[in-house]
Structure 1
Amino acid sequence: MSSTATIPSLDGRRFLMVSSTTSAVDPESPSEFVYWEKDGAIWGDYSGDTVTFGRFVGTRTGDTIWVSFVHVLVSDGAVVTGDGESQLELTDDGRIRLVEHYEMHGLPQLSVCEEPVAA
């Protein structure tokens, strides 16, 4: 696997959920995602907001990533699985944004995650 992306590696980068069609995002405690990347492979974990913990694995080609995910909900402990595709974008201030299209509960969904602003 290889990448000719214009956006730098996601390896070790952290992202916070900004918006989601699946649920209202708590701005005080949004889901947090940590990504790892090597030779076109993507993997990582996430937690926060409505998710106790989750894992994902996939691939990257250029500025597009494809992942399969699984997570446990805070509300009832239910396990949710799915697949998604994200477009990588750069914000005006140079941070990476993930625009994620995925299916959950049998319906198409959209979420946006961004690297946090440096303190």
Structure 2
Amino acid sequence: MSRSLDGLVLAPVADQAPGQVGTRTRFTYHERDGEVWAEYAGGDVVRGHLVGTREGDRLDFRYVQLKQDGTTSSGHCVSAVVVLSDGRVRLEESWEWESQTGSGTSVVEQVTEHSP
């Protein structure tokens, strides 16, 4: 059985490019009946939101964020949900900006403390 993302806090395991999410960014996930959404903030991101769907261990969502410099950006991401040996959740992500050029991969993992 797949692990629910509802109420989990996840953080990137590595920094992305400047002005994007990084190790100080925290994502708080919610999940209900195949719908997923999250709020995120930290580092260069003042506020971000994502919304999408989950089928099995696959997430498909759009994201939008406001950065410290006052600019906004948006994109699309597909993630694989992986349960680690210690029971924490990892998302292995493939993303692409829609508001600007660029794409890549990233990994976020469940954090046990709720640090800012």
- The alignment's TM-score, normalised by the length of structure 1, stands at 0.83
Residue equivalent to 2:95: 102
Residue equivalent to 2:48: 54
Superposition pairs for residues 2-81 of structure 1, below 5 Å?
6-23=1-18, 27=23, 30-74=24-68, 76-81=69-74
Calculate the aligned-residue CA RMSD, in Å: 2.0
2:62 corresponds to 1:93: no
* CA shift for structure 1 position 100: 1.1
Q: Which runs of 5+ in 2 are unaligned?
A: none
Q: Which runs of 5+ in 1 are unaligned?
A: 1-5
% identity of equivalent residues: 33
Counterpart residue identity of residue 76, structure 2: D
Q: Determine the C-alpha separation between the residues in 2 that align with 1:91 and 1:42.
A: 20
Deviations 1:81-114 (A, max 9, x none): 1110011111221100011111123222111111
Counterpart residue identity of residue 59, structure 1: T
Select the structure with the greater relative contact order (CA < 8 A; seq sep ≥ 6): 1
* CA shift for structure 1 position 26: 5.6
Moved over 3 A (4+): 20-27
* CA shift for structure 1 position 22: 3.4
Aligned length: 111
